[in-house]
Amino acid sequence: MTALHALWMGLVLLGVLGVLQTQAQAPVSLQPNFQQDKFLGRWFTSGLASNSSWFREKKNVLSMCMSVVAPTADGGLNLTSTFLRKEQCETRTLLLRPAGAPGCYTYTSPHWGSTHDVWVAATNYDEYALLYTAGTRGLGQDFHMATLYSRTQTPSADIREKFSTFAKTRGFTEDAVVFLPQTDKCMEERK
């Protein structure tokens, strides 16, 4: 009986440790009761923070881009972003596949071929969304990014402050947080 009791207690402790380990690995909390249908539509990428060397080199020349989020047949999302690059509009589409709880997705980077996880950490659907992305790029370099999506090109000071606070809680420094300047170029929805 004592051996059975010890075995049972050992399994309970392993279960508790497993829960603690799972919670420690969750890099960001998700929007409670995330409603994917309300997240669809046009967004403007208004703010970014990243640990990427590319981002640090280019952050002063980046401008706001427009993204359209549309549903896929498998319950995922197509995220189509149009942005200005070398004075021309470029469009890229990422397929975000569901990865667990609502608001959690994964995608494969077309450039690196690596898998990235995306969490919708907070949104009110009508004004803003805060996203966090984590993965590995190139030769095992950890990649982290916080993104502010806004329904307009002029997010309020409160929303900008929410994003700044969110990025800092994710470990980004003040100089890694960038609010992207507006542009009229590449902001029309493509048919």
Which residues form the catalytic set? 65
Using the CB atoms, write b or e for 53-64: b if 16+ within 10 Å: eebeeebeebeb
Those residues whose C-beta lies under 8 Å from the C-beta of residue 66, and which sit 6 or more positions away, are 42, 43, 44, 45, 81, 82, 83, 186, 187, 189
- Measured CA angle at 180 (ends 118, 46), to 5 deg: 45
For 38, counting Cβ atoms within 10 Å of its Cβ (0-12 exposed, 13-18 middle, 19+ buried), the class is exposed
